[in-house]
Amino acid sequence: MAAPTRFPSHVPLRSATALLLATAVLTGCSTVSSDGSLLGLVTPYRMEVVQGNVVTQDMVAQLRPGLSSDQVRTLLGAPLLTDVFHANRWDYVFTIRRQGTAPQQRRVTVFFENDRVSRFEADAVPTEREFVAAIDASKPPARKTVLELDESQLRAIPLPAPSRAAQTPQTAASGPARSYPPLETTAR
Q: How many domains does the chain have?
A: 1
- Structural domain includes residue 162: no
Counting every residue, how long is the chain? 188
* Contacts with 6 (C-beta within 8 Å, 6 or more apart), sequence order: none
Contact 91, 107 (CB under 8 A): yes
53 falls within a domain: yes
Tell me whether residue 86 is in a domain: yes
Map residue 121 onto helix, strand or coil: strand
Q: What is the CATH number of the domain that holds 128?
A: 3.30.1450.10
**Which tens digits make up the pLDDT trace of 79-110?**
877 778 888 899 988 888 877 777 888 899 99
Alpha helical stretches, state H, the chain:
10-30, 57-62, 69-76, 128-135, 151-156, 164-167
Q: What is the pLDDT of residues 35-51, one digit of tens each?
A: 555 555 666 777 777 78
CA–CA separation, 119 vs 104, rounded Å?
A: 24
pLDDT tens digits, residue range 8-25? Answer: 555 566 777 777 777 766
CA distance 149 to 147: 7
The verdict on residue 42 lying in a domain is no
Q: Is residue 81 part of a domain?
A: yes
Give yes or no for a contact between 79 and 92, defined as CB atoms under 8 angstroms apart. Answer: yes
Instruction: Tell me the C-alpha distance between 35 and 41, whole Å.
Output: 11
> For 162-185, how does the pLDDT look when each residue is reduced to its tens digit (9 = 90+)?
776 566 555 555 666 667 777 777
What does each C-alpha distance from 168 to 38, 160, 181 come to in angstroms?
A: 70, 17, 20
Tell me the whole-structure pTM to 2 decimals. 0.49
Amino acid letter, 12 = P
DSSP state of 42: B
Within a domain: 99: yes
Structure-model confidence comparison of residues 72 and 48, the more confident one: 72
CA distance 176 to 165: 8
**Does residue 98 lie in a domain region?**
yes
Query: Which residue range is the domain that position 60 belongs to?
Result: 49-135
More confident residue, 103 or 32: 103
Average pLDDT, the chain: 76
Would 97 be classed as within a structural domain?
Answer: yes
Q: Is the pLDDT of residue 111 over 90?
A: yes
